[in-house]
Chains A and B, each alone.
Chain A
């Protein structure tokens, strides 16, 4: 188990180094670092002097080293547009994205597990077939389209729910404005989280159903029944626990897709989170912010994936305890 842990963490560090290298390379080749600091009306001589002073003529590796050192201290450059440190901008927008992601994850977990299990146990029931049918349609509708349709039906058409922004916010602590604690905030949360879950939910339902079906065919389930255990216990204790393992693995990978989809969803709902910020940065060619986002999200992925791997290692007794042949 310990060896497993060390391996995963080393890998994580390595990946982060690669990401920082990519980020740095982008920063160097695209966009002009000087632009962030100076105005337009600065002479060429002053520019060159500034270049020298900032060490922009030093060898590549040296500059990367500096970039890395600064990044580890939290300095990812300044946003050209916001005229503030990039990391600060990102962190100010992060709560919005995190609240959305959390609400969506909750929705997905609470719905996909019972539906997936049901569809596996009673595959021929019309309800199960209905869910599977809806799932395949759900997977075929791009997230932004679902978002637009939801807005069209529930905002423009019925006028039940708001279509943009986060609504009324409450400051939990400095730097975190939450929409969870006002009914207005919650109302604003509904459509975006439904839209965001529209692709993840079918994915997880199909995954859980497929895994559960496979588990139900195994010998140890047959054996559990041969021991005369109650059917509920066979299903949930013996069956579901084994289904959980591959679901955790795949689920962790889906995080990437989720983050990518928040970019789309936030754009549609004008939800002021990191995703919307990223798109605006692209539009404005704010390279520093783009790179900072890349590194930040990269770090997020690597951390979450490593944590998921470790959780898997803890939950799966065959990894946790070395076995005998």
Chain B
């Protein structure tokens, strides 16, 4: 069965439609992604345009409370920016960084895992030690250190300018060991199989064997951890922004918004922190639920990290 029709009738779709959790989280995620990427079109205001922001509008509550303003559905933050718009743009940044970081770490990790697993020997031992040590420091710690370093090296101003690519690099570097180890485990399993032996006997170069033959068979576990890694990347970015090593307050992500709003819960403006917080949790939760379902679908026994 080919293409779209094959997919529609596949067990994947069948199993998916049977599971309300999977459908629910997928829909949720789809909506969040669409609204945030459609921010330039949907958002009632442009939070980056300082000319439209009036400090007199600051700390206005959401629509259903007193003293609210119909222009600002979810209220405004301490600088007078519309919460809803800022959140939409912020979510977009968070998702972009998450995806970018995962792409980078996948690239790095898959490459390292393939080569280490296929070559074996001391090369493999060394790389895996490296991965293990980095993992023992935990990805958050590594990300925080890299962030601190880059900020000290570049200085705050430049760091803020380059925030998005820097964050992608930081989080990408912090998390590659996961991919490397997963791919390496797969490669080791595949290496023993006969088709690899056959390919070698025919005289194919190691590169070709790794790329064309082994790699496609290692993609299932990669897919399984990818969803969780995206959620982790988004969490990492939020954490970094919260401690000031992430997106600046002028172009905030959800994490920076939460940070900015934290000081104000004592003075009563709870919405500045709560709404971005809820949005962040819903985003991460739906990715995690979807990831759980995907992992169970693809076979629970094989993938214990």
Contact = CB atoms under 8 A, between A and B. Distances in A.
Interface in B221-270: 231, 235, 238-239, 242-245, 255, 258, 262, 265-266, 270
A1 interface: no
B304 A210 contact: yes
Given A152-B270, A261-B140, A301-B137, A282 B262 contact: no
A29 interface: yes
Nearest to A260: B140
A256 B288 CA distance: 22
A143 B140 CA distance: 12
A154 to B, nearest CB: 12
B136 A305 contact: yes
A39 B188 CA distance: 59
B285 A136 contact: yes
Interface stretch (B58-66, B104-112, B146-154): B146-154
Interface stretch (A40-48, A227-235, A262-270): A262-270
Interface in B263-304: 265-266, 270, 273-274, 277, 280-281, 284-285, 288-289, 292, 304
Interface stretch (A60-68, A179-187, A188-196, A283-291): A283-291
A26 interface: yes
Given A140-B284, A148-B277, A282-B148, A254 B138 contact: yes
Contacts of A258: 138
B135 interface: yes
Interface residues of B, number: 41
A201 B245 CA distance: 27
Given A26-B149, A156-B266, A256 B258 contact: no
A218 B74 CA distance: 54
A279 B244 CA distance: 8
A142 B285 contact: no
Contacts of A148: 258, 262, 265, 273, 277
Contact of B141 (A137, A142, A256): A256
B138 A136 contact: no
Contacts of B212: none
B138 A259 contact: yes
B223 to A, nearest CB: 20
Contact of A263 (B144, B238, B273): B144
Q: Is the interface of A mostly helix, strand, loop or mixed?
A: helix
Contacts of A290: 148, 152
Contact of A279 (B138, B152, B243, B304): B243
Contacts of B245: 282
A212 interface: no
A114 interface: no
Interface string A136-157: 1101111111001101100010
A80 B239 CA distance: 26
Nearest to A304: B136
Contacts of B136: 252-253, 255-256, 301, 305
B145 interface: yes
Contacts, number: 107
B239 A149 contact: no
A141 to B, nearest CB: 5
A36 to B, nearest CB: 14
Interface string B57-100: 00000000000000000000000000000000000000000000
Contact of B152 (A15, A253, A261, A285): A285
Contacts of B149: 26, 30
Nearest to A297: B141
B219 interface: no
Contacts of A56: none
A316 interface: no
Contacts of A279: 243-244
Interface in A219-264: 252-261, 263-264
A282 B133 CA distance: 24
A31 interface: yes
B129 interface: yes
A298 B140 CA distance: 14
A287 B281 contact: no
Contacts of B239: 142-144, 260, 264
A37 B145 CA distance: 25
B138 A137 contact: no
A297 B145 CA distance: 11
A273 to B, nearest CB: 14
B153 A30 contact: yes
Given A136-B285, A285-B152, A149 B277 contact: yes
B288 A264 contact: no
B254 to A, nearest CB: 10
Contacts of A253: 135-136, 138
A305 B132 CA distance: 11
A139 B138 contact: no
Contacts of A260: 138, 140-141, 144, 239
A261 B285 CA distance: 19
Contacts of A145: 258, 277, 280-281
Given A139-B288, A140-B231, 10 more contacts: A11-B129, A142-B284, A144-B238, A149-B277, A152-B274, A252-B136, A256-B138, A264-B242, A264-B243, A287-B152
16 contacts: A11-B129, A136-B289, A136-B292, A142-B239, A142-B280, A148-B265, A152-B273, A256-B135, A260-B239, A261-B140, A267-B242, A282-B148, A282-B152, A287-B152, A297-B141, A305-B136
Interface of A: 11, 15, 26, 29-31, 136-137, 139-145, 148-149, 151-152, 156, 210, 252-261, 263-264, 267-268, 278-279, 282-283, 285, 287, 290, 294, 297-298, 301, 305
Report, nearest first, the 3 A-B pairs whose CB atoms are least far apart.
Answer: A256-B138, A260-B140, A140-B285
